Amino acid sequence: MIPKRIQILTYITTLLAVLFSCQKKNNDNLKEIQNKLQIQKNIDKAGVFYNNYSNTDSAFFYYNKAKLLCDPKTDPDNYINILNCMADIQLNQGDYIGSETTITDAIPYIKSLKEPTSVWNIYSTLGANYLLTYNLSDALLYYNKALGLKVDDSRKSLTKSNIAAVLLEQQKYDEALQIFLRLSTKEELLKKPEYNAKNIDNIGLCYTKMSDPRGIQYLNQALQIRKEIKNNSGIGVSNLHIASYYDENSNPSLSKKHAFEAYKKFREIHNIDNKLSALKLLIKNSSNQELKKYSLLYVDLVDSIFEVRQKAKNQFARIKYDSKREKEENLKLKTHKAQNELKLERQKSRNIISYIIIVLSLCLILILYYYLTSKANREKIEAAYNSETRISKKLHDELANDIYHTMAFAENRNLSLAENREQLLHNLDAIYARTRDISKENSTIITNENYTASLKEMISRFNTPNINLLINGLDTISWDEIDKVKKTAIYRAIQELLVNMKKHSDASVVAIVFKQTKKHITINYTDNGKGIDINKMVLKNGLHNIENRILAIKGDIDIDSGLGKGFKVFIKFPI
């Protein structure tokens, strides 16, 4: 029979354990409620700035604070909605790479979502980023994924319109036209004049690209609807499309008239990209002092657009970096507090010595794990920030010279002469082409089973009427056996070799030969350009980047050249 004292002691011990467990559970619940309230508070603050377009930096800051507090495993819906808003802000500010990086963080948690609208937002944002960075195949892929989701008719119609927009960029005008025509009969579209006008405008644009005279009728109809609903952005777009129509149909006076109307609207709403397009048409159809005025406006706008967007990109990167650092400092304080509480609890225990040893061991492991994890995260964030800063410097350095010379040309030459106008337009097109090339050079590289096709497609872009580019052995390489890091390094190295060739060598024939052995892959690059003096060669910029990439994958690189003897590069790296 158990003594009564022992029974009472057991009862008291059990009661205390239950009370302690309940108290701990209540504390945990209280912390969880407080955390949710803090998340919602930051979301509400961000929403004020986000919905009013008053301060996108502040909206991004508060969304980022909410994201750091939110656990994607226990609250995936809130977490992904926050990422969608952050990516949308970056997209609207022209930070397409940052927007893609942000929204990609949501992909691992798609399966946890109950609401397909959130998934639709992810795919639509990715599609928009790829469309704006000229990655049309991936844009079409994600828009088709969005179309396969069970969402409302309005979103399905919008997705179909986006798919048609991609087809329009791919010059598949008839396919795009059929989609726009089918959408024009949808009830949900007819109820919304803004969307209906956009669809009619797209129909007119398709007809125009197909040289069908019906195009101008649809373009004018869309303009009329947009004027009735006072849609300033839409009025500007309609006038821009009509100006392009008259420009292609040799009516400079009407083209200039509508281009000026478009420019005024885009200036009112601060739409820089479309304002550039309107100025380009005004330059083409103006003369004398007007031509000079519009040309200088165009050059100043091109120079400022990159400065503004790079500041936005750097600001978003800095917000992420500072928030992450602040979170790490808070975690240090919380960890220290938890350690002290743990020691006090263990001191009350009968086995205080053994418990202290266990606690010290656990703390050591946790501190070491936290230190290594924090160090890796800091290096990753700093690397991303440095990468975005490097791209910003590259844009400014490479474009500054072209912009300066174009401004000098516009100020000092007689632009009433046809040859000077043509040269000015050529210079402006060169500036635009360079910006698009830099965008493509820094886009995401495909490293899956489509790597060979992607590499071929990149190389083929340098095959021009003046450059005969030969590739041998590319299809014989077992790329599936090579890891992603090496494939990325080789892709970038070849891309930079071809960029340097196009800029400096004046080559007419370029050959790239791939060979594979049991342990290595070799790449021989040869061109018949003007070459360089190998004894005076200093590795800079592209060549320096190529050497670093190859050495990073434990490869070897050898450069051989001479004045008037072409340029040769031998690359060898382990499989």
Whether the pLDDT of residue 333 is over 50: the answer is: no
Confidence of residue 521 (pLDDT cuts 50, 70, 90): very high
- Distance (Å, whole) CA 105 – CA 90: 14
Confidence of residue 311 (pLDDT cuts 50, 70, 90): low
What is the mean predicted confidence (pLDDT) over 231-246? 91
% of the chain exceeding 70 in pLDDT: 78
Closest listed residue to residue 494, CA positions, set 554, 536, 557: 557
Q: Who wins on pLDDT, 51 or 111?
A: 111
- Other CB atoms within a 10 A radius of the CB of residue 227 amount to 14
Closest listed residue to residue 125, CA positions, set 109, 108, 104: 104
- Distance (Å, whole) CA 168 – CA 162: 10
- Distance (Å, whole) CA 450 – CA 472: 18
Q: Who wins on pLDDT, 404 or 309?
A: 404
What is the mean predicted confidence (pLDDT) over 178-200? 88
Q: Edge-to-edge strands of the sheet including 468-472?
A: 468-472, 509-516, 520-527, 567-574, 556-561
Helices (H), 210-251: 215-228, 232-248
Closest listed residue to residue 373, CA positions, set 422, 335, 344: 335
pLDDT of the residue at 16? 46
Q: Which two tokens stand for residue 463?
A: 């095959």
Closest listed residue to residue 42, CA positions, set 85, 87, 6: 85
Whether the pLDDT of residue 502 is over 50: the answer is: yes
pLDDT of the residue at 510? 96
* Side chain identity at residue 511, one-letter code: A
Whether the pLDDT of residue 541 is over 60: the answer is: no
CATH code for residues 451-574: 3.30.565.10
CA 534 to chain centre: 39
- Other CB atoms within a 10 A radius of the CB of residue 232 amount to 15
Strands 468-472 and 509-516: parallel
What is the mean predicted confidence (pLDDT) over 308-331? 54
At 514, is the secondary structure helix, strand, or coil?
A: strand
Confidence of residue 394 (pLDDT cuts 50, 70, 90): low
Confidence of residue 567 (pLDDT cuts 50, 70, 90): very high
33-283 belongs to CATH 3.40.50.1820? no
What is the mean predicted confidence (pLDDT) over 56-68? 85
Confidence of residue 384 (pLDDT cuts 50, 70, 90): very low
- Distance (Å, whole) CA 436 – CA 69: 37
pLDDT of the residue at 267? 87
Q: Which two tokens stand for residue 512?
A: 């790239």
Q: Which range has the top average pLDDT, 331-345, 431-445, 551-565?
A: 551-565
pLDDT of the residue at 6? 47
% of the chain exceeding 90 in pLDDT: 31
33-283 and 451-574: identical CATH topology: no
Least confident of 144-158, 212-226, 396-410: 396-410
pLDDT of the residue at 217? 94
Q: Which two tokens stand for residue 553?
A: 């994958």
* Side chain identity at residue 244, one-letter code: S
Total number of residues shown for the chain: 575
Predicted TM-score (pTM) above 0.75: no
pLDDT of the residue at 309? 56
CA 325 → CA 42, 284, 379, distances in Å? 18, 51, 12
- What does the domain layout of the chain look like in residue ranges? 33-283, 314-423, 451-574
Phi then psi dihedrals of residue 525, to 5 deg: -110, 130
What is the mean predicted confidence (pLDDT) over 235-250? 91
pLDDT of the residue at 385? 46
Whether the pLDDT of residue 2 is over 70: the answer is: no
Confidence of residue 383 (pLDDT cuts 50, 70, 90): very low
The pLDDT tens digits of the residues spanning 357-381 come to: 888 888 888 888 888 877 756 655 5
Q: Go through 234-265 and write b for each residue having 16 or more CB atoms within 10 A of its CB, e for each that does not.
A: bbbbbbbbbbbbbbeeeeeeebbbbbbbbbeb
Strands 556-561 and 509-516: unpaired
**Which are the contacts of 534, defined by CB distance < 8 A and separation ≥ 6?**
559, 560, 561, 562
What is the mean predicted confidence (pLDDT) over 239-268? 91
Whether the pLDDT of residue 450 is over 70: the answer is: yes
Whether the pLDDT of residue 538 is over 70: the answer is: no
